[in-house]
Amino acid sequence: MLLPDLLFKPPYSKFILIEDTIEVRSTDFLTSIINHRVKHFKHVHYFVFEGRLGQKVRPDVKVHDFCSDIKGWLKKDGKNRLDEVISELSRVSVVIIDSLVHVINEYGFHQTYKWINELIQNKGIEIQIIAVLHRDILEERNVVRYLEHLSTFVISLEPKFLRGNNFRVLYKYKKSSGKVIKSLEEFWIDRDGVKTKPIDKIDVKRLMEGSIGEEVIPDQLTTFKISLEEHERKEKDKLVLPFHPTYNPQKEEGGVQIVYHLDENDDWDEEDPDDDLDI
């Protein structure tokens, strides 16, 4: 089972958290999800906090502009606009939040966490939340851990491992039964949407061969000569080193040998060194 099977086939996850960075943006990934949801859900709400209103949005998506008046100061009644929009959501809705970092900066993490948790735990409505989180601009790293704990589907977009490969996606899917599915796949996006494939086991030998260029020549690394020529190597092999044990049959026949015989007057201590011990 690959990522598109979990992402685009029911049962749909209650809270999908998409983590991206400046290196791997989630814009096309999120657009692909929106295009799928509007075909299967009547009410799709796009909460825009990041100032992306200039981009193309489908006419069947209800866009909520929180960039121009995020605090609701321009409204005469003075109500919190985000609270008002959440209270007016239909019973079955899809809520797209782009992005959570901006919501946290404006309302605080405690209030943001409370809103999301209330929508997830509310049994009277069927709300599906899909939120983008720019993890590289978060000031508090524990925020990622808390949101991942709350979410039921964490999708982390990762950079390419090698040049020429696709981007990678690391995801953790929590089933209602309690089972957790973790996987790392390559992904790309075409006209049909998000596509993925399993990442094959890395061939270390092939990886090393691809990373090593031309053969390293020691003489090119120094200003003096290190290696030996062929004739120098042969002369070196002929050289007999002093005190190097070699077998010479001529020495056994009449060569000079050194033989040591023990002297009768050698001072040998024949006493038992342990004689004074009561053993």
**17-40 pLDDT, tens digit each:** 999 999 999 999 999 999 999 999
What is the per-residue pLDDT across 161-217, written as a single tens digit (0 to 9) for each? 776 678 999 999 999 899 999 999 999 999 889 999 998 776 677 667 666 555 666
What is the token pair recorded at 26?
């989630």
Q: What angle do CA 199, 203, 206 make, to 5 degrees?
A: 125
The model's pLDDT over 47-72, given as tens digits with 9 standing for 90+, comes to 998 865 545 678 899 998 888 766 66
Structural domain boundaries of the chain?
3-200
Question: Using an 8 Å Cβ cutoff, are 98 and 52 in contact?
Answer: yes
What is the CATH architecture assignment of 3-200?
3-Layer(aba) Sandwich (3.40)
pTM of the model: 0.70
